[in-house]
């Protein structure tokens, strides 16, 4: 599997003289646009070149302070200048993250035969803002490396974040940004890889390779071990494919850790719907149905690389959902890990079955908090759209932990309820529980099903990332077309909060 390589990243107190592209901001102050971060020397030279102030030139070309606005112009000496809208002058780390991402995406389109040297000059000073600029720039540089016989060319060779702060905190922020961006891009690569290349066996081995050199222990259960140990969800869902299922367990247990976080991710490497076959249009992007597993695996690596003092145990439940003579059927009764029997309602609701196995296993580790991440329901997309993920939890305290982490990471989650009576919809006449209810409140019913496999005393939250995990449209901000790597940054921020 090919993978994206991050550009070199440095922090500097002044704009490098050899920069090919300089990114600066346009913000709104007292109702008027102002330039932000552009080095004085570059502004003077450019004003002399055009015979007018740089702001006037940029405004004539259509730049606005509105976030998402970009304009490209040529400075002296062949340097390209990219103006990006920031919004208000009192910026947040997420505003800077988005602006840097927009600027670097535009810069990528200017590349020719050689990789460009890019300077991000957005007047970042505080460590959180410096980190936002670095993260946005690296994530904006991402592109999936095509499976091709031709040697890929890098569009961006290096990125320099310019900040007047030379404090150690700023440098540590840049280092953390690189680790986190690498994890997000790893998750993106996994999601974007075609399913004939990334299937349970190869996904599991890629996860093992990804954590080499860290203090993470790895355990992989193949189809024989899963059948032996009673993982009825994974063996049923994976039973229709010639490529057997896997359960990957990562365990990071640093000295001094006082909290234990369990992460569970849905890893359906391709979802045809099984015998409840999806329509053709609904199947094309189903290589992304393992984005939850990608997120928890990549986040665990980043947590270990950052040296966070929190124990993390991650489970990635991997299977390929295919129709065949050995596929499981609607109305089948499955025995899950731990002994619970489940009446299968719909073979296209397979994710909750593999997640149930993994949640039951994760509960045996007695963690302080369990978070599961899954591209679980179209119903959540209907409710929240394509850019907001759903959050359902055992209690408001667990939900608040996740929402606070998401806010600090700059990712959009919205809490949905699990109303009283939802569990009743899952009552079965032939098993302990049904895998689904009626057509209404599908995201809530799915969450209620998953919660059944978590002990009542264990705090738990479910992240339904079906909407934002894969971007079918054009890129925006630091988000590319294809896999987005959503939830990685939130999970790392959550681990950070648990050690504080």
Pick from 410, 105, 91, 361: which is nearest to 250 by CA? 361
Would you tell me how many other CB atoms lie within 10 Å of the CB of residue 10? Answer: 15
Residue 48 catalytic?
Answer: no
> Which DSSP string do the residues of 184-252 spell out, in sequence order?
HHHHHHHHHS-TTTS-HHHHHHHHHHHTTTSSEEEEEE-HHHHHHHT-HHHHHHHTTSSS--EEEEEEE
Active-site hit among 278, 309, 387, 423:
278
Tokens matching residue 69: 């606005």
Is the CA virtual torsion 316, 321, 326, 330 positive or negative?
positive
Which residue is listed with tokens 């003077």? Answer: 44
> Which DSSP string do the residues of 408-442 spell out, in sequence order?
HHT--EEE----TTTGGGG--SSSSEES---STTH
Residue 117 catalytic?
Answer: no
Element (H, E) at 361: helix 351-363
Alpha-carbon distance of 344 to 428, in angstroms, equals 10
Angle ∠(310,314,319) on CA atoms, nearest 5: 170
Active-site hit among 97, 352, 361, 489:
352
The whole-angstrom distance between residue 128's C-alpha and the CA centroid of its chain comes to 19
Q: Are 170 and 163 in contact (CB under 8 A)?
A: yes
The catalytic residue positions are 278, 352
């Amino acid at each position: 599997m090919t993978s994206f390589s991050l550009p070199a990243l440095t922090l500097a107190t002044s704009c490098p003289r050899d920069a090919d592209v300089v990114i600066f901001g346009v913000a709104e102050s007292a109702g008027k646009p102002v330039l932000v971060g552009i080095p004085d020397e570059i502004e003077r030279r450019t004003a002399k070149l055009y015979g007018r102030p740089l702001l006037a030139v940029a405004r004539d070309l259509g730049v606005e302070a509105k976030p998402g606005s970009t304009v490209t112009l040529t400075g002296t000496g062949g340097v390209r200048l990219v103006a990006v809208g920031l919004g208000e002058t009192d910026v947040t780390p997420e505003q800077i993250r988005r602006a840097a991402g927009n600027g670097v995406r535009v810069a990528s389109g200017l590349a020719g035969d050689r990789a460009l040297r890019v300077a991000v000059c957005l007047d970042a000073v505080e460590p959180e803002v410096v980190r936002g600029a670095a993260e946005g720039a690296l994530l904006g540089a991402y592109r999936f490396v095509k499976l091709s016989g031709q040697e890929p060319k890098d569009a961006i060779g290096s990125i320099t974040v310019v900040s007047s702060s030379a404090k150690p905190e700023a440098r540590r922020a840049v280092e953390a940004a690189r680790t986190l961006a690498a994890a997000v891009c790893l998750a993106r690569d996994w999601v974007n890889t075609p399913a004939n290349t990334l299937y349970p066996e190869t996904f599991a081995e890629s996860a093992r390779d990804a954590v080499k050199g860290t203090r993470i222990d790895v355990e992989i259960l193949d189809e024989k071990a899963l059948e032996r140990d009673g993982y009825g969800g994974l063996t049923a869902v994976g039973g229709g494919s010639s490529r057997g299922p896997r359960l990957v367990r990562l365990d990071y247990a640093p000295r001094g850790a006082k909290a234990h976080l369990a992460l569970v991710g849905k890893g359906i490497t391709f979802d045809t719907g099984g015998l409840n076959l999806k329509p053709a249009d609904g199947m094309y992007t189903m290589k992304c149905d393992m984005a939850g597993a990608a997120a928890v695996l990549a986040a665990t690596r980043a947590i270990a690389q950052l040296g966070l003092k929190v124990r993390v145990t991650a489970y990635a439940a991997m299977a390929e959902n295919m129709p065949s003579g050995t596929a499981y059927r609607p109305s089948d009764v499955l025995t899950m890990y731990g002994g619970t029997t489940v009446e299968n309602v719909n073979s296209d609701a397979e994710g909750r079955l593999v997640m149930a196995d993994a949640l039951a296993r994760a509960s045996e580790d007695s963690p302080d908090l369990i978070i599961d991440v899954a591209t679980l329901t179209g119903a959540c997309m209907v409710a929240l759209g394509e850019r907001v993920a759903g959050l359902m939890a055992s209690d408001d305290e667990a939900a608040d932990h996740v929402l606070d982490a998401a806010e600090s990471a700059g990712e959009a989650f919205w809490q949905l309820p699990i109303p009283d009576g939802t569990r009743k919809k899952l009552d079965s006449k032939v098993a302990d529980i049904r895998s689904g209810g009626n057509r209404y409140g599908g995201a809530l019913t799915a969450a209620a099903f998953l919660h059944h496999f978590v002990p009542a005393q264990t705090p738990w939250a479910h992240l339904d990332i079906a909407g934002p995990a894969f971007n079918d449209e054009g890129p925006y901000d630091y988000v590319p077309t294809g896999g987005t790597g959503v939830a990685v940054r939130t999970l790392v921020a959550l681990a950070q909060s648990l050690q504080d």
